[in-house]
Amino acid sequence: MTTQLSLLTPSGHLTLGNLLGALRPLAARQDAYDTRVGVADLHAMTTAHDPAALRARTRELAVLLLACGLDGSTLFVQSRVPAHRLMTCLLECVATTGELGRMVQFKEKGRAEQSTRASLFTYPVLMAADILLHAPQQVPVGDDQRQHVELTRDLARRFNRAYGPVLVVPEAVVPAAGARVMDLQRPTAKMSKSVGADDEAGVVRLLDPPDVVRRKVARAVTDSDTGADAARTERGTKPGVTNLLEVLVACGGSADGLTTYGALKKAVTDAVVAVLEPVQQRYAALLAAPDHVDEVYARGEERCREVTAPVLAAVEQALGL
């Protein structure tokens, strides 16, 4: 069975964009693939962080993955599978400073800082280790991660040339399109779970109560058009309206008969609340059953330790350890 792997960083709180664009499509495919979904807590340590906050966000994300319907997947917390850390160290012996220095994410996050953590510089190697340990034949890739997947392929090929055919070189593929959800206040930018407090107004969190959702949608950016054609799709000149319409459709609503922004926003609010309600109800039920959550992740982490151990052992042997 083909393996599909996805890791999410607990750098913030999951959003409607994460649900519609990634988690729901992932859950829809989980029965057809060997699906492994990880909480990438090690990824959250590449910049300054508060340990208590990291621990709390890790638990919240772990519970939400279950609440979003990923029961049929192998769920794990990255740091509880030690092979991820060990593989990173070994791949750092294959990567070069030149290629890591060219990575866009390092340039963007470190540009305004006088000094950054070494882990931010080597972060792409950790991502490569995550992928190569689980040996997926295909890696879904979006524009923001394409460079990291290409580095993963380069490292695997370089390792195999130098030390023997040990690592599976994954193929980068463009996944089936999920809903593309943009920030309600900045509709040309994706809705991000990592935005700061100043940007909260444009981001719908999975745990936002209905009144908060209603307020955020009501304040969403549209434009100055009025009349029968106001609520039409045109991403180039009407990105805010286009975003609301796409969210509405992705949440199962219909734009038929909507001719004003007020009507559109009410329809979007009702559709979003209807989608979030079962997720929030299941999340609350799971919080009341912590032993069940712990059992699911313990089982998933044990399986991940079993499937990654042979890959790590083969890499160590090939390197002469």
Q: What is the pLDDT of residues 29-62, one digit of tens each?
A: 899 999 999 999 999 998 888 999 999 999 999 9
What are the residues whose beta carbons fall under 8 Å from the beta carbon of 72, sequence distance 6 or more? 27, 30, 31, 35
Can you give the pTM of this predicted structure? 0.89
pLDDT in tens, 124-168: 999 999 999 999 887 776 666 788 889 999 999 999 999 999 999
190 is catalytic: yes
238 is catalytic: no
User: 107, 109, 265, 266: which one is catalytic?
Assistant: 109
User: 193, 216, 238, 265: which one is catalytic?
Assistant: 193
pLDDT given for residue 2 in this prediction: 86
Cβ pair 185, 202 in contact under 8 A: yes
Find the mean pLDDT for residues 221-249: 70
266 is catalytic: no
User: 107, 190, 265, 266: which one is catalytic?
Assistant: 190
What are the residues whose beta carbons fall under 8 Å from the beta carbon of 319, sequence distance 6 or more? 90, 93, 163
